[in-house]
């Protein structure tokens, strides 16, 4: 059973063993904006962990994982506070919208830390940043490939240049349980949820598994196990952390975008090792004439690829993790 309240999760004092849920109403230029959350206090006061999902509304494994966890996480198994936000972007979830918030067409995961005076999405990002992420001692954001993306599972953390934050973020990434790890430099990626969090002083990670508008039991299980590992790594849980297998930590990520609007025909798959100069795919016009043959600038592993035939200019079409 949950105690239902209105407001932000950190507005209330610590109560051992309590389960509370609520709706944060973020005023946005006359557009209703609600952020549902669950707060579970452990057996004793301590650190806080915030976990979000549904920043992109059609990325489902994380949403399912957090809804389940809200009812199964045992308060006696940890200290401190766990705050879960299963659907951070209700507008996108209800609209089954890929990538963007339907209200203003903006990508929430390019909008952090947001603005209290900006567009709908910028104000939503601001509320998530100020009321959830900033007060936390650690932050995890769960993602997947979107409706038209095939994806190889990976974890990312941000290198800010602040040793304490970077060390903990890297530890969280390595403990999570996904083999492929990609560190992001902060420059040029400031709008991403976990990057903005780290730049604000909160150790954080972004985890990705699944995609194409479905969720599978094994994907949900990976996320649930990952959150359990994060609780151990932060010291919130006394359980022994399993010795992790070796991880593949890449040096960065090459993003490829479409040069034109038209038809996209990929020639690589998620998880495939790509060599420099290999054809990634082709963009053609609506008559089938090739506009751009896209080749890999560097070798690496394909971690995501656009699977839709339809493509717009500047759409992301592939991502290759660099060794």
| Blockwise average pLDDT, block size 10, the chain, 323 residues | 79 92 79 91 97 97 98 96 98 95 95 92 95 97 96 96 96 95 88 96 98 96 97 92 78 94 98 97 96 97 97 96 95
HEC states along 199-241?
A: HCCCCEEEEECCCCCCCCHHHHHHHHHHHHHHHHHCCCCCCCC
How far is 138 from 212, CA to CA, in rounded Å? 29
Q: What is the pLDDT of residue 28?
A: 58
Distances from the Cα of 114 to the Cα of 35, 107, 150, angstroms: 15, 11, 28
What pLDDT sits at residue 186? 82
pLDDT the model gives residue 5: 76
Question: What's the length of the chain?
Answer: 323
The listed CATH number (3.40.1210.10, 3.30.750.210, 2.40.50.100, 3.20.20.70) that belongs to domain 251-322: 2.40.50.100
Pair 184, 141: CB distance under 8 Å: no
d(CA 112, CA 123): 9
The answer to whether 217 and 225 are in contact (CB under 8 A) is: no
Report residue 6 CA to chain centroid gap: 25
Helix axes 217-233, 163-175, angle to 10 degrees: 140
* Helix axes 217-233 and 60-72, enclosed angle (nearest 10): 60
Phi, psi torsion values for 217, nearest 5 degrees:
-60, -40
Structural domain spans, the chain? 3-248, 251-322
Which pLDDT value is given to residue 200?
A: 96
In this structure, are residues 40 and 93 in contact, taking their beta carbons and an 8 Å threshold? no
Q: What is the pLDDT at residue 27?
A: 64
Contact in structure between 74 and 40 (CB atoms under 8 Å): no
**Range 3-248: architecture per CATH:** 3-Layer(aba) Sandwich (3.40)
d(CA 67, CA 72): 9
pLDDT of residue 94: 96
- Supply the pLDDT for residue 36: 95
What's the alpha-carbon Rg for the chain, to the nearest Å?
Answer: 20
Cis peptide bond N-terminal to 201, omega within 30: no
By the 8 A CB rule, do 206 and 153 touch? no
């Amino acid at each position: 059973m949950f105690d239902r309240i209105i407001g932000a999760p950190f507005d209330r004092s610590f109560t051992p063993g309590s389960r509370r849920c609520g709706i944060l109403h973020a005023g946005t230029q006359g557009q209703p904006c609600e952020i549902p959350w669950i707060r579970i206090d452990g057996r004793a006061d301590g650190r806080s962990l915030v976990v979000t999902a549904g920043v992109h509304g059609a990325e489902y494994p994380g949403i399912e994982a957090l809804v389940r966890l809200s009812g199964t996480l045992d308060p006696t198994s940890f200290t401190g506070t766990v705050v879960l936000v299963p659907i951070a972007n209700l507008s996108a979830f209800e609209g089954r919208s890929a990538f963007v918030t339907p209200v203003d067409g903006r990508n929430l995961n390019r909008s952090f830390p947001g603005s209290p005076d900006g567009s709908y999405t910028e104000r939503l990002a601001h509320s998530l940043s100020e009321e959830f992420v900033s007060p936390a001692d650690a932050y995890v954001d769960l993602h997947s490939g979107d409706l038209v993306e095939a994806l190889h599972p990976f974890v990312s953390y941000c290198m800010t240049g602040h040793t304490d934050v970077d060390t903990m973020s890297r530890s969280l990434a390595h403990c999570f349980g996904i083999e492929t790890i990609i560190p992001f430099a902060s420059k040029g990626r400031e709008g991403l949820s976990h990057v903005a969090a780290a730049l604000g002083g909160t150790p954080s990670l972004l985890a990705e598994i699944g995609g194409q508008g479905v969720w599978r039991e094994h994907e949900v299980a990976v996320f649930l196990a990952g959150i359990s590992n994060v609780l151990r790594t932060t010291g919130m849980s006394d359980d022994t952390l399993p010795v992790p297998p070796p991880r593949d930590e890449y040096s960065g990520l090459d993003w490829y975008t479409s040069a034109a609007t038209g038809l996209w025909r990929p020639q690589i798959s998620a998880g495939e090792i790509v060599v420099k100069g290999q054809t990634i795919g082709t963009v053609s016009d609506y008559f089938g004439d090739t506009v751009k043959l896209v080749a890999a600038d560097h070798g690496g592993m394909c971690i995501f690829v656009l699977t839709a035939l339809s493509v717009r200019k500047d759409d992301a079409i592939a991502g290759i993790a660099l060794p």
